[in-house]
Amino acid sequence: MTTIDPMNPLLTQQTDLKVYLVDIVDRSIDTNILEDRMLELESLVNTFGGMVVIKTYQKRDMPDKRTYIGSGKLEEIILEMKEVWAQLLIVGNVLKPSQVYQLNEKLRPIWAKAWDRVDLILKIFDKHADSMEAKMQIELAAIRHMWPRIYGMWMELSRQWWWWEWAMRWLGETNTERMRRHLKEKQFKITEQLKQYENMRRIHRDTRKKRWIPTVWIVWYTNVGKSSLLNYLTNKWILAENKLFATLGTNVWKLYLMTDPVMWTGKEFLLNDTIWFIRDLPPKLIQAFASTLEDSIEADLLLHIIDASDPYVDDRIAVVNYILNEIWAKQKRIMVFNKIDLIDAVKLKELKLKFKNQNCLWISVLTGDWIEELKEKLLEVL
């Protein structure tokens, strides 16, 4: 693939982008959780189109204030990146502006760059933004992410070259204010344009309410069999991609459920399918897509699809619930545990006992078990 970066000619290649991954974690973290974090980060890189050549981690009680990565570890990383011709260092954490700046300064001699987790997600969003609205939302998120970095970079330069700060004080302040004013104006224009899309969706929602068409919002973590379930329910072919954020915005699917097979009558539902949820998704990125998620937030029912065979099922549920709380999603919820064919009777009994106070269904899309019960539940609740 072709990856273009006008600020760094080395990142413009006709081959896969070689990526070095590093994750900084607490010393007490479990090894299995560490491997899961790294696997998820690698999935993000693959979605972007990069090729991970080296993965490593560092256990620290506190991240390095200057570069987030310890100086000794950073030197080791730079040497390894140079040996394998890696062009990009991605840190699986959220870094401060000055830390990103310092990392890029350290990597400048080998013509490489550094991103943090938010940078990577923004790049993926930008790559998969098809509609004009999605592109504007990405730009808005990028501006909110860039704003403190511009200020932080200028402050870092001022600390390094204090004599330059005094010599160019007036000019520097003018440039900083000019950039901040430009970003503020750009943000205002994008926000106003997004309001037009928001008003259009409000009209569509009002039309659906007049027709009394119930809407169901589907949320999920990664790799839970969501696409397979949609295929089963709607009898349509939906490509099941093992890529994070492969789709931005909201896809709407029609579901028709029979209420009286004799009279051949039934009820129509709309299924809202939105972006994946993932751990450590910064609130400012969620806020950028707030208008797109508005349709889903106002849905009549929320279906939370869960992989019953996931060893970290509790953590996945906690992440999704956290994001739902962040965006004030308060509607009725049904927790749909999929892939029960992959667990034994003991594990299934443990899960049912743990979530006995929740509104849960236990299904297997692969075998078709309990799918009809799911349909009956939708009719009952709605």
Q: Do both 146 and 102 map to the same domain?
A: no
Q: Do both 229 and 376 map to the same domain?
A: yes
User: Per the structure block, which two tokens stand in for 152?
Assistant: 């932080």
Residue 77 domain-assigned (yes or no): yes
Mean pLDDT per 10-residue segment, the chain (382 residues):
41 68 90 87 89 93 92 95 95 88 92 91 79 78 70 45 46 62 84 82 71 81 76 68 53 78 76 72 65 70 91 89 80 92 94 93 90 89 81
The H-assigned helical ranges of 108-168 are: 117-128, 132-160, 162-167
pLDDT at 296: 67
Which one-letter DSSP state was computed for residue 6?
Answer: T
Q: What is the spatial order of strands in the sheet that 17-25 belongs to?
A: 50-59, 17-25, 88-91, 113-116
Q: Do both 271 and 187 map to the same domain?
A: no
Residue 67 domain-assigned (yes or no): yes
pLDDT at 19: 96
pLDDT at 161: 42
Under DSSP, is residue 359 helix (H, G, I), strand (E, B) or coil? Answer: coil
pLDDT at 158: 43
Domains held by the chain: number: 3
User: Per the structure block, which two tokens stand in for 199?
Assistant: 């008003």
Supply the pTM of this predicted model: 0.74
Q: Which residues pair with 256 in a beta bridge?
A: 268
Under DSSP, is residue 22 helix (H, G, I), strand (E, B) or coil? Answer: strand
The H-assigned helical ranges of the chain are: 31-48, 71-84, 97-107, 117-128, 132-160, 162-167, 169-210, 226-234, 283-288, 290-297, 313-326, 345-354, 371-381
User: Per the structure block, which two tokens stand in for 14?
Assistant: 């006709």
d(C-alpha 180, C-alpha 55), whole Å? 37
Which one-letter DSSP state was computed for residue 275?
Answer: P
Which one-letter DSSP state was computed for residue 279?
Answer: T
Q: What CATH number is given to the structural domain containing 109?
A: 3.40.50.11060
Q: Do both 310 and 288 map to the same domain?
A: yes
pLDDT at 174: 53
Domain span at residue 148 reads 131-194
Last residue of a domain, one of 126, 156, 186: 126
